[in-house]
Structure 1
């Protein structure tokens, strides 16, 4: 859409168009509520595998990632062994976690990022980004493979690699995703949901702001404009609310 040549109308005409769009927004909201209910009604899979992770104090089990909560959201952060910094897109998404976590932690939800790289390799990057959320390593176990965000070289070569529940021709070392787990009163753990690719959009609050603006997301490829938050040009125009 060319915002420079956008129709300009009277307030009355705008109000009529806005009310018509409001009806569509309300219908979408009802459909979204229906979809969310359908998601919650999905069957679960019991986790019997002994996954292990590395955290700041040594080895952790999947159960440890829950803390005192019954619900666990894991963000599969793209950071492989030998990388100097994390994926810019994953970093964009994770910039939103700490603010939400202040509330989620008080509503029976733990949020943890998991990466394939050894734990020590992403600590400097986490400090650089200023993040507080828990971030652990899945090095040495099948977690990334089992939950669809890493592909073994032999599966890629054999054309058996999948992403987002479909076969993929890609050979990416790491891919993004999110998985959700539930722990019952007996301590049993269940996998309830996973999502990938555009399914992660809901976690990116900045996109929701952009979707409200005249130019929208204004990108040719998903997140092609996104940088680590400490790499944006300092010469960018400041908000009018910023004092000099």
Structure 2
């Protein structure tokens, strides 16, 4: 099927048709990569059932976050104990996830952890209107370091990790390791689930050098 929009020139249609072929090829590659990801063998068992804390201070071990699901994604928010505010890029990402979490939770579990105490995170949740996000304190658990979301110097890093629960316990399945892979596009390791950048990529101006 050939489509056409009002008053477009032959040059536009030829260029758009060539782009469409590239877009279809890209979609095919994305699907192939997703299939490779789904085919990964299980990763290692978690070394400990990390004792996260809810915003009211109650214990929320990692294994309890799955709820009725067998899959759990955890995003590490860059908001350490010395930070005066959350990372703007993380904040933009989580603003988008806030509107999606009720849909995501029908299929899998999702949580956000940060290396700050529950009191600071509770204040942050109110400030950012993130009441729908499952926000937890990883302070003192070792999780952030073990799963590449904190450097040896204590710098916070924006990792996404996926865990699977099976008969043997809880295993790591996938992490956004592209954050650590040098490239011309660093650090676009979670862009595929970030509406902001995907929309800007559809415009003639693109992303430019703008940041949230």
- The answer on whether the counterparts of 1:116 and 1:138 sit within 8 Å (CA) in structure 2 is yes
Q: CA RMSD in A?
A: 1.7
Residue aligning to 1:205 = 195
Structural mapping, 1:5-84, within 5 Å = 11-44=9-42, 45-57=44-56, 58-84=58-84
Q: Does 1:112 align with 2:111?
A: yes
- The answer on whether the counterparts of 1:117 and 1:137 sit within 8 Å (CA) in structure 2 is yes
Structure 1 unaligned regions, length at least 5? 1-8, 154-171, 227-244
CA distance in 2 between counterparts of 1:225 and 1:29 reads 26
CA distance in 1 between counterparts of 2:122 and 2:55 reads 10
3-state DSSP class of the match of 1:133?
coil
* Structure whose CA Rg is larger: 1
CA distance in 1 between counterparts of 2:165 and 2:198 reads 31
- The answer on whether the counterparts of 1:151 and 1:173 sit within 8 Å (CA) in structure 2 is yes
Deviation at 1:142, TM superposition (A): 1.1
- The answer on whether the counterparts of 2:149 and 2:158 sit within 8 Å (CA) in structure 1 is yes
Instruction: Choose the corresponding residue for 2:173, options 185, 192, 199.
Output: 192
CA distance in 1 between counterparts of 2:8 and 2:147 reads 53
CA distance in 2 between counterparts of 1:48 and 1:125 reads 29
Shift in alpha-carbon separation, 1:82–1:15, aligned structure 2, 3 A: same
Residue aligning to 2:147 = 147
Q: What is the TM-score of this pair, normalised by structure 2?
A: 0.85
Q: What is the TM-score of this pair, normalised by structure 1?
A: 0.75
CA distance in 2 between counterparts of 1:40 and 1:77 reads 25
Moved over 6 A (4+): none
CA distance in 1 between counterparts of 2:9 and 2:121 reads 53
CA distance in 1 between counterparts of 2:114 and 2:73 reads 14
Q: Does 1:225 align with 2:208?
A: no
